[in-house]
């Protein structure tokens, strides 16, 4: 009897190790309280030959509605560089930020930080775009979008070039006063459930035929699969091979954006 109790205790320790000690798995503990943010840039057509914008960073304010300089967080922009906005029309866009983790809650503002190489081409002549305020503080766009834990969101920043470029009277300066429309969509959902018995290490995976997401049940038997694009999934529950329990397969588990699909308690036999 004592030997059996000792074996069960060791199994519970192993379950805890595999559930919480492996950072590569999308377990509930790893992502609790966070959302993922992607940001794309596009443009509405304008009456210019080229409009070049030098993007050096993208920042956000989360759970902070103050107007000052406090609370800004860099999203470690993956595609910095000079972009011709007039090539980003008709559904074409550029991915600036990809799946960056931020705290869940409210995304209050997005800020584009510009470099020095901003120009506009009119009748074959290149003119510098004056961006005095943008150079110091960036282009700020109010969002106030709720970010739910364990969900992924894509924000589309849509420049309106015709309204954003202004010729400044007699000075001859051409100024950039951006008019940007921001829209957001939740792009992923989650699957949750519980596994019995508790003393068996269990792996849970979900696949839609293209992607596969994997996690482990925690010591209380609970699991959460995150980052699932909408669609139908096959969920496979695989117990430790030493347990003599058989895998369980659930077909056609539907996932929708910004929602959790709860599949209840699964008892392995």
In tens digits, what is the pLDDT along the chain, a chain of 269 residues?
A: 444 444 444 444 444 434 333 333 433 334 459 999 999 998 877 788 999 999 999 999 999 988 888 899 999 888 999 999 989 987 788 999 999 999 999 999 999 888 889 999 989 999 998 876 544 567 888 899 999 999 999 998 988 888 888 887 777 788 888 888 888 888 889 999 999 999 999 999 999 999 899 999 998 999 999 889 999 999 999 999 999 999 999 999 999 998 999 999 999 98
Confidence at residue 168, expressed as pLDDT on a 0 to 100 scale:
78
Confidence at residue 161, expressed as pLDDT on a 0 to 100 scale:
85
- The answer to whether the CB of 199 falls within 8 A of the CB of 215 is no
- pTM here is 0.74
Domain spans, the chain? 2-31+188-267, 34-186
Contacts of 222 (CB under 8 A, 6+ apart): 28, 192, 193, 194, 195
Question: In whole angstroms, how far apart are CA 22 and each of 17, 109, 223, 246?
Answer: 8, 34, 14, 24
CATH architecture of 2-31+188-267: Sandwich (2.60)
Contacts of 235 (CB under 8 A, 6+ apart): 191, 204, 205, 206, 225, 249, 250, 253, 263
Q: What is the DSSP letter of 145?
A: E
- Position of tokens 């529950």? 237
Cis peptide before 67 (omega within 30 of 0): no
Whole-angstrom distance, CA of residue 17 vs CA of residue 22: 8
CB neighbour burial string for 95-117, b if at least 16 within 10 angstroms, e if fewer:
ebbbebebebbebbbbbbbbeee
Whole-angstrom distance, CA of residue 59 vs CA of residue 123: 34
* Pairing between β-strand 72-74 and β-strand 50-62 as defined by DSSP bridges: antiparallel
CA pseudo-torsion sign 9, 14, 16, 21: positive
């Amino acid at each position: 009897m004592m030997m059996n109790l000792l074996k069960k205790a060791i199994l519970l320790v192993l379950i805890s190790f595999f559930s919480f000690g492996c950072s590569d798995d999308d377990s509930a503990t790893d992502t609790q309280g966070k959302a993922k943010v992607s940001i794309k840039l596009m443009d509405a057509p304008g009456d210019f030959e080229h409009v070049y914008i030098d993007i050096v960073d993208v920042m956000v304010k989360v759970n902070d509605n103050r107007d000052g300089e406090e609370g800004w967080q860099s999203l470690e922009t993956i595609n910095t560089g000079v972009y011709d906005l007039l090539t980003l029309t008709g559904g074409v866009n550029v991915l600036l930020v990809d799946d960056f983790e931020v705290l869940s809650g409210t995304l209050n503002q997005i800020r584009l930080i510009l470099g020095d190489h901003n120009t506009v081409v009119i009748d074959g002549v290149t003119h510098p775009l004056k961006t005095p305020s943008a150079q110091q503080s960036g282009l700020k766009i109010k969002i106030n979008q709720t970010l739910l834990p364990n969900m992924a969101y894509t924000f589309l920043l849509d420049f309106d070039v015709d309204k954003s470029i202004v010729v400044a009277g007699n000075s001859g300066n051409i100024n950039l006063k951006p008019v940007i429309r921001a829209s957001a969509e939740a792009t992923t959902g989650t699957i949750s459930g519980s596994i019995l018995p508790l003393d068996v290490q269990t792996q849970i995976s979900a696949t839609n035929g293209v992607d596969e997401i994997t996690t482990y049940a925690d010591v209380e038997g609970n699991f959460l699969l995150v980052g699932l694009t909408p669609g139908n999934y096959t969920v496979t529950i695989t117990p430790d091979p030493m347990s003599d329990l058989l895998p369980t397969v659930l077909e056609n588990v539907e996932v929708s954006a910004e929602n959790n699909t709860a599949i209840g308690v699964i008892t392995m036999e």
